[in-house]
Structure 1
Amino acid sequence: MASMSKKYYHIHNFDARNGLENYFSDKETMVFGEDSLKFPIMNLYYVFSKGYIRGDLCIDLSHGSFIHHLYSASNIFKDIILMKFNEKCAMEVRRWLGDRTGAFSWTHTKTAVEELEGKSDQIQDKELKLKASIKQIVMCSLDKENLIDPLVLPLADCVISVWLLGTISKDQEEYMMNLKKTSNLLKIGGHLIIIGLLNTTFFKAGGEQFHAVPYSESFVKSSLTKSGFVIDYSAVQGRKNVSDLIDYTHVIFITAYKVK
């Protein structure tokens, strides 16, 4: 299927709940746990525990409505702002934030993080702590250089982007343009954390097939360098599952600090 015949996550009717069930749930049929849950959680815990990423404000600019990648961030940052392209994804997060009926359960990921961090009775519940850290959800659009125009946010100390740039960009040239817009959210010296899927051309949710632009590890790294970043940590993991929902080959995790 040609990419133009696929739907785009940020434009078309993306089924946010089905996306969570397919790629992030604790169901026995959910085969992506090693890649979508464990790999991000462990790497984020590692880099945040090292202490070189710090500050007051973290902006999360990620695909879908998952939140498990932000548990460790809430140990560091007083304020977390979520930016969403898809209203259904924002609604799904609001449902979880407000403990509303039918909210997606993240208990399996909260437990995993608490075990990783060595939770004791004196440590605040991870989910409650994360909810307290999330101060705002704002909608954004690719139409303008400032993704949330006419709103203006303070520059962030850290921006986290998971599974997003490849799904909102039609090709590698546009990936570079969207990376620049993401960089504009960040202070000089601030850190960008990217978690992506290598060599992906599609993913499925709600019975629909969505576009993804394929890219390699070397492309991501060169893109960051060309965009004014210095990479200080990276990890790549080969795909750990078999599924026809998505066609990536590896998961990549990169942290880089902005120098210009």
Structure 2
Amino acid sequence: MPVADVDTARRCVGGFIKGDRMIDLSVGSSLFQLIPCYKGFKDITILEVNNGCIEDMEKWVKGEANSYDWAHAIDVLAELEGCSDVSSWKVMENDLRSRVTCISKCDLSLKNPTEPNVLEQVDCIINLYVLGSCCKTIDDYSLKLNNMSTLLKLGGCLILVGGFHASYYTVNDEKFNILDFEKEDLLKILEDGGYRVEHIEVTEKKSSADFVTYDNVFVVCAVKVSEC
């Protein structure tokens, strides 16, 4: 999801995110989705699906000179908030770094996605585009959502961001599948998975980026009310 599209998530999640511990499981070595909400959590675990992203995140946490610079995301968020002062980015970056206590590999096809490690359940999970990009069928999406849910406490909040009517994304001219599904499919998956949807917002694609195809961006805030 291009950084500018984070406006939808930013406006939706403010009243729902709370707790001490959070997991972020997002596509690529992304940080911009954490910037609006990280201050609500003392302990942040970042899960990645491949080793390259783990290495990138570890470089950033260590503050290495060749780590990715996310200052441009602050520029976008400051503009969305109507604020021109972005001089505090380094302070925010160091604060965010200090709250990241774990970076680990994740495989959503496993009942325990962090196997062999067993993580303490958290108060909130943010999932940015990962589920749609690693599933080929609705049943597979449901299974992997349920596996991810084992990491979330009862009463915890799931922030799920993805795309409807998607097809593929490209990396170095190589195409990768994105699940094509609709709002009704997602709502049923969440209900069957033990979630109560508190808020859902669907917006038309705003970005002109051609490396990813989708018609709509969705943001769901859902509370885990039962074990699947």
Report the CA distance shift for 1:45/1:137 in structure 2 as closer, same or farther (over 3 A).
farther
Q: Which residue identity is paired with 1:174?
A: D
Cα distance in 2 for partners of 1:211, 1:121 equals: 39
Residue matched to 1:242: 208
Report if the CA contact (8 A) 1:198-1:250 is conserved. yes
Q: Do structure 1's residue 252 and structure 2's residue 218 form an aligned pair?
A: yes
Cα distance in 2 for partners of 1:120, 1:166 equals: 33
Cα distance in 2 for partners of 1:55, 1:155 equals: 12
Output the TM-score relative to the length of structure 1: 0.79
Q: Do structure 1's residue 226 and structure 2's residue 177 form an aligned pair?
A: no
Q: Helix, strand or coil for the counterpart of 1:58?
A: strand
1:105 counterpart (58, 69, 86): 69
Report if the CA contact (8 A) 1:139-1:148 is conserved. yes
Q: Do structure 1's residue 207 and structure 2's residue 173 form an aligned pair?
A: yes
Report if the CA contact (8 A) 1:110-1:127 is conserved. no
Residue matched to 1:9: none
Q: Do structure 1's residue 167 and structure 2's residue 171 form an aligned pair?
A: no
- List aligned pairs for 1:183-198, cutoff 5 A: 183-198=149-164
Percent same amino acid at aligned positions? 26
2:147 counterpart (181, 201, 220): 181
1:65 counterpart (29, 52, 55): 29
Cα distance in 2 for partners of 1:201, 1:42 equals: 21
Which runs of 4 or more aligned residues in structure 1 lie more than 3 Å from their structure 2 counterparts after TM superposition?
Answer: 111-115, 117-124, 241-244
CA positional deviation for 1:187: 0.5
Moved more, 210-219 or 185-194: 210-219
- List aligned pairs for 1:51-62, cutoff 5 A: 52-62=16-26
1:90 counterpart (28, 34, 54): 54
The CA RMSD over aligned residues, in Å, is 2.2
Report if the CA contact (8 A) 1:41-1:68 is conserved. no
Cα distance in 2 for partners of 1:184, 1:171 equals: 21
CA positional deviation for 1:122: 8.9
Report if the CA contact (8 A) 2:5-2:207 is conserved. no
Cα distance in 2 for partners of 1:85, 1:121 equals: 33
Q: Helix, strand or coil for the counterpart of 1:204?
A: strand
The runs of 5 or more residues in structure 2 that have no matched partner are none
CA positional deviation for 1:170: 2.0
Q: Helix, strand or coil for the counterpart of 2:22?
A: strand
Deviations, residues 227-246 of structure 1 (Å, cap 9, x unaligned) = 11111111111012334322
Report the CA distance shift for 1:253/1:46 in structure 2 as closer, same or farther (over 3 A).
closer
Moved more, 123-132 or 153-162: 123-132
Cα distance in 2 for partners of 1:199, 1:79 equals: 35
The runs of 5 or more residues in structure 1 that have no matched partner are 1-34
Q: Matched residue pairs, number?
A: 224
Q: Helix, strand or coil for the counterpart of 1:125?
A: helix
Q: Helix, strand or coil for the counterpart of 1:68?
A: coil
CA positional deviation for 1:142: 3.6
Cα distance in 1 for partners of 2:88, 2:63 equals: 23
Q: Helix, strand or coil for the counterpart of 1:151?
A: coil
Moved more, 72-81 or 122-131: 122-131
CA positional deviation for 1:143: 4.6
Report the CA distance shift for 1:54/1:117 in structure 2 as closer, same or farther (over 3 A).
farther
